[in-house]
Amino acid sequence: MRGSFSIEASLIVPLVLAVMVLALRTGIDCYEETKAQVAKLGTRVSFDIVDTMYLLDEITDIGDLFHGD
């Protein structure tokens, strides 16, 4: 009975490791592609929260005009 657990583990552990390596490799590939795209654009993207809040406020006001609130 104890031997069957060893055999099952010898099949499951490599499968789990292969799935983990595949997931990591996919993440690294996405990172490399994103890094290449940013380098190609040559600009740094900055996020300004104040401008975003003003933009959201304007969008909300426009939505109020359409909905009549």
The pLDDT tens digits for 4-37 are 778 888 889 999 999 999 999 999 999 999 888 8
Find the range with the poorest average confidence among 16-30, 37-51, 55-69: 55-69
Please enumerate, as own/partner, the contacts of 23-27 that have beta carbons within 8 Å and a separation of 24 or more: none
Radius of gyration of the chain, Cα coordinates, nearest whole angstrom: 25
User: What pLDDT, on the 0 to 100 scale, is given for residue 12?
Assistant: 93
Give the Cα separation of 26 and 31 in Å (integer): 9
Q: For residue 68, give the DSSP letter.
A: T
SS3 call for 41: helix
Q: Where are the domains of the chain?
A: 2-67
Inform me whether the pLDDT recorded for 54 exceeds 70.
Answer: yes
Inform me whether the pLDDT recorded for 63 exceeds 60.
Answer: no
Q: How far, CA to CA in Å, does 62 sit from each of 49, 51, 59? A: 20, 17, 5
